Structure 1
Amino acid sequence: MGGGEGSAAREALKHRSIDKVVMCDIDQEVVDFCRKYLTVNQEAFSHKKLQLVINDAKAELEKRKEKFDIIVGDLADPVEGGPCYQLYTKSFYEKILKPRLTDNGIFVTQVISEFTFDVIAYTAHVPSFADTWGWVMASDHPFLMNAQDIDEKIQNRIKGDLFYLNGASLLSSTTLNKTLSQS
C-alpha cells in the first residue's frame, strides 16, 4: 500500500521466494515522477514481477480475493481527511487488511495500534527523507528469530544484497529508547 517512490518494491523484489509484488499507490503523478527521477529505484518499476496498480489501497484490498504473505503500508501520515486516514483505522485493519493476510502473514507499517496483532516497534534512518522513522511489524505469531536466523533467511531468499537489512540491524532497530518504548 503506497510506496510510490519504489523503495519498498525494490527491496521486496530482491527476495527469491517472491512470485509477485503488487504495489498499489493512489497517485499516478508521484509514481511517474519517481520512476523518472529516482534512479536508485528505476529497476524496480521495470521488474517483471512488479504489478503496479494506481488505486486507493482500501478499495484495491476490498476488491482483491487473494491473500498476501506480507503487506507493507508505506503511506503518508494519517492526517484527518487526508487520502491515507482511513488506512490507519481499527475497522480497516480488522475488516479489510487482516482478512487479506495468509495465516502466517505479516503487516508492516509506520504506525499501528496494538489490538489484533503481536506487534514489534522498530526505527530506521530513511535516507530519501533524511530522517529517522518508526514502524511496527505485526503478525498473529510472536517474532522469535535471532540475528543468525534472520541472516540465514536473507541468504536463502535474497538475490543480491539488501540495501539496509541484516539480522543485527533488524534486531538493533527494535531496541527503542525509554521515551519511545513507553509511548
Structure 2
Amino acid sequence: MGDMSKRNCCWYEEEIEQNLRWCFALNSILHTGSSQYQDIALLDTKPFGKVLVLDGKLQSAEMDEFIYHESLVHPALLHHPNPKNVFIMGGGEGSTAREILRHCTVEMVTMCDIDEEVVDFCKSHLLANKGAFFDPRLHVVINDARAELEKREDQFDVIVGDLADPIEGGPCYKLYTKSFYEGTLKPRLKEGGIFVTQAGPAGIFSHTQVFSCIYNTLRHVFRYVVPYSAHVPSYADTWGWVMASESPLDLDAEKFDVRIRQRIEGENRYLDGKTFASASILSKAVRKSLAKETQLYTEGSAKFIYGHGNCNDTRA
C-alpha cells in the first residue's frame, strides 16, 4: 500500500474513457475547491506547467493552452470583416477573452460564465490572463449563457462557445442543442455574424463521442459550417471546433495572414493561414463519418463525453 499511496500523491490521473487513463507527474497541488457547479483544482504538473481541472477534466494547461485558444478565437474573428462586439459563452478562465482582446477591431467583449468561483479563482491564479481581466473592454457577467442570451436584445458580430465538454450532470450540455442554437443563439448574431464552439475530442476514434454530432447539429441550423481540429498535447488527443455562419466562410491562407498582420497585436504562436487551412482539412476517416452523421444534439438525445459532473449530484 505504501508504494501505491506514494504514487498517488505524485501523479494526477484522468480517466479519459472507461479503459483509458492519462497520468502526469505533479510538482504540487496548488489549490482545490468546489463551487455549486463543479469541482475546481489548480495543479502544478511536470510536463505541462500549471493546469486547471474542472470536474476531473483538464481544461487548460499553461504549456499548450495557446493551441486551443488561438484555434478557438482567431479563425472566427478573422473570417468576420470587422468584429467589434463579441460574446463568450463560458470562458471563465480568461484565456479566450485574452485572445479576443488582441484584435484591434474589438470594442467590447462580454464573457458570460455561470460559475463565479471559477472566474474569481482564475483571476487570482492565472497570471497570463491578468491583463485581459483588467481590460476596460471586457465585461464579465455571471449567468447561465442561455438565460443571458435569451434576455438580451443586443446582437453580436461573433459568439464564441468556450464551454466545458458536455458531460452528464455537468452545467453545459444544453448549450450544444439544436433548439438552443436555432432559437436562442442564432437570433443574437448580427447579419454576417459568426458562431464558433469548441466541440470536444476529434481524434480518429474519439470524434464520434460529440464532435460529429455537434457538427451535424450546426449544419441543420446554419448555411455555412466549417469543422476543424488540432492536436493539443495536454488533452492527449486531437481537439475539434466548429465555426458556423449564414455568410460564406472562405478566407484563403494569404488573406488570413494579411488580416492577422492588420488586426492582431503580437505574434501568434500556433495559428496562421496555412495552419488553419490544414486544420480544416480533416482526415479521411473523420470526413467520412461526419458526412454520414445523422444524429442531432437535442435535450432528449444528448451525447456526452466520458465522465460525470457534480451538478445535482446525489453521491454522499
- Shift of the alpha carbon at 1:128? 6.6
CA deviations on 1:105-144 (whole Å, 9 max, x unpaired) are 0000023322121111111244675653101010112211
Larger-gyration structure (1/2):
2
C-alpha distance in 2 between matches for 1:146 and 1:98: 25
Paired position in structure 2 for 1:44: 132
Paired position in structure 1 for 2:263: 157
Any unmatched runs of 5+ in structure 2? 1-88, 200-213, 290-316
| Runs of 4+ in structure 1 over 2 Å off | 79-82, 124-132, 159-165
- What SS is found at the alignment partner of 1:105? strand
Paired position in structure 1 for 2:293: none
Paired position in structure 2 for 1:145: 251
C-alpha distance in 1 between matches for 2:144 and 2:274: 35
Q: What does residue range 1-183 of structure 1 map to in structure 2 within 5 Å?
A: 1-111=89-199, 112=214, 113=217, 114-117=219-222, 118-126=224-232, 129=235, 131-183=237-289
C-alpha distance in 2 between matches for 1:69 and 1:134: 22
Q: Identify the structure with the greater strand proportion.
A: 2
Moved more, 105-114 or 6-15: 105-114
Taking a change above 3 Å as real, the CA distance of residues 160 and 148 of structure 1, as seen in their structure-2 partners, is same
CA deviations on 1:3-34 (whole Å, 9 max, x unpaired) are 11111111100101000011101111111111
C-alpha RMSD of the superposition: 1.6
- What SS is found at the alignment partner of 2:90? coil
Say how many residue pairs are matched. 183
Moved more, 156-165 or 34-43: 156-165
Any unmatched runs of 5+ in structure 1? none
Q: Which amino acid aligns with 2:96?
A: A
TM value normalised by structure 1 = 0.92
C-alpha distance in 2 between matches for 1:32 and 1:44: 13
Q: Which amino acid aligns with 2:287?
A: S
C-alpha distance in 2 between matches for 1:31 and 1:116: 31
C-alpha distance in 2 between matches for 1:130 and 1:5: 20
TM value normalised by structure 2 = 0.55
Taking a change above 3 Å as real, the CA distance of residues 166 and 35 of structure 1, as seen in their structure-2 partners, is same
